[in-house]
Amino acid sequence: MAGKGTSEGRFLFEFNGITSVRATEVTGVGVNHEEFELYESNKPNPNLGRGHFNCDTINVRHAHALNQAGAEFYRWMKDFIDGTNVERRGGRLIVLDEDGESLVQVYELINCVPKKMEADSMTAGGKNASFFKFQLRPEEIIII
């Protein structure tokens, strides 16, 4: 039943040029701001102002890929590392309701750089198809 919040496997990634990927765990969707301090005369505390910001590295675990999504992500990363295609891709992280279809939240990920990709742990006793995990870092995150 929709409207009860999210549960495992309810994250969907869409990137330019890559087939959609579902995942069960996403961390690191955050922005850090470094303010500047300006001291005036003999005032004991500073005035704070807008400084620089950066986005955290987004970690995605237990990514489920249909068709060629895993290979497409790997190709993007390999081409980026080799310098044959240094395109930064935009994408969306879509958080779905527990029904797996209703939209809860969308994060627009601007100019992402791929950082890491590896095969997920492979165990014979696992119950879910879990293909790979990856990391990427956006230049900016916008909540839609």
Return the pLDDT at 8: 57
Return the pLDDT at 58: 95
Asked whether the beta carbons of 14 and 91 are under 8 A apart, the reply is yes
CATH of domain 11-143: 2.30.110
Return the pLDDT at 2: 53
Q: Is the model's pTM score more than 0.75?
A: yes
pLDDT per 10-residue tile (average), the chain, 144 residues: 57 86 90 94 93 94 77 89 93 88 91 89 61 91 94
Return the pLDDT at 5: 55
Neighbouring CB atoms inside 10 A of 86's CB total 10
The rounded distance, in Å, linking the Cα atoms of 50 and 141 is 17
Return the pLDDT at 48: 95
Domain boundaries, the chain: 11-143
Return the pLDDT at 129: 58
Return the pLDDT at 100: 77
The 8-class DSSP code of residue 74 comes to: H
Return the pLDDT at 18: 83
Return the pLDDT at 121: 67
- The 8 Å CB, 24+ separation contacts for 30-39 are 30/55, 30/56, 30/141, 31/55, 31/56, 31/140, 31/141, 32/56
